[in-house]
Amino acid sequence: MATSTLTNILSQLHNSNLSNPEQISSLLTKAKRQLLELNALLPSSTTLPNLLSLARQTLETGALISIRLREPDAFTRYYQQLLPFYEVPDSSFEGSSRGQRSKVTGLYLLLLLTKGDYAGFHTVLEGLEVENQGKGGLQGDEYIQYPVKLERWLMEGSYDRVWGATKREGVPSEEFGVFSEVLIGTIRSEIASCSEKAYPSLPIANAKNLLFLDSEGSVVDFAQGRGWAVKDGRIYFPLEQEDQMATEKDILAASGQVIENTIGYARVLETIV
């Protein structure tokens, strides 16, 4: 009876409206309460395959909904709760299903990228590689390969490739689009911080390309949000007096170079701090 109740709650969650987060939160709480009553919040050797699958599905549903609601902390909690289930052999689940492990794990890797947690990223990835040795590897897994490619391009300074991959048609699913937007925002902020230190001003047209923004209007909005002055088609950064020596020629020639060096520069700053 309790299993059918849990199944019914999951059905409601799949059909839920994201515009009503209170209802979703209530349903998720009820679902986890059912798991507690069924003693299935953690897997054990005595947990039946169908219940094991339901428990994993419940937590994966909560994780994916958390992303759609843009709640990364909640997603992280669900991911951590799922780890014990991901250590259970696939054969122990009903139908020997893998569930949505690849998607959830790929999303967690992408979240680590948005936070700049490269050590955590490689720890998770190395664990996956060890686990998949002799099983065909991870090359064919689009959900894992997506954050792997982004991380490699970030390290290379290939921001144009990162930008292209985060467009709607380049992401593996809508959930990845949420964290991809955050990642681009992080890159944009790092480029903006470096630009403030490098130049007294920039033409809006150059800043549009430099910051990966879609229009000059977006540049103006971004500039105002950071407290930059906008006048006569240029952005003026709040630089120190001695930094006002850069020439127009230097600015235009160096704009592409800033993109190439931003991530490495930011990493150095992090190390110094």
Q: What is the pLDDT of residue 231?
A: 92
pLDDT averaged over every residue in the chain: 84
Q: What is the chain's alpha carbon radius of gyration, rounded to the nearest angstrom? A: 23
Q: Is 187:212 a contact under the CB 8 Å cutoff?
A: yes
147: pLDDT strictly greater than 90: yes
Q: What is the pLDDT of residue 183?
A: 87
71-85, 120-134, 136-150, 251-265: range with lowest mean pLDDT: 251-265
Q: What is the pLDDT of residue 252?
A: 52
Instruction: Say if residue 5 is exposed, middle or buried (CB neighbours under 10 Å; 0-12, 13-18, 19+).
Output: middle
Q: Model confidence at 250, in pLDDT bands (50, 70, 90)?
A: low
65: pLDDT strictly greater than 60: yes
Tens of pLDDT, residue by residue over 190-228, are: 889 888 888 889 999 999 988 989 899 999 999 999 999
Query: What DSSP state is assigned to residue 24?
Result: H
124: pLDDT strictly greater than 50: yes
Tens of pLDDT, residue by residue over 158-195, are: 888 888 888 877 889 989 988 888 888 888 888 898 88
Mean pLDDT value across residues 120-136: 87
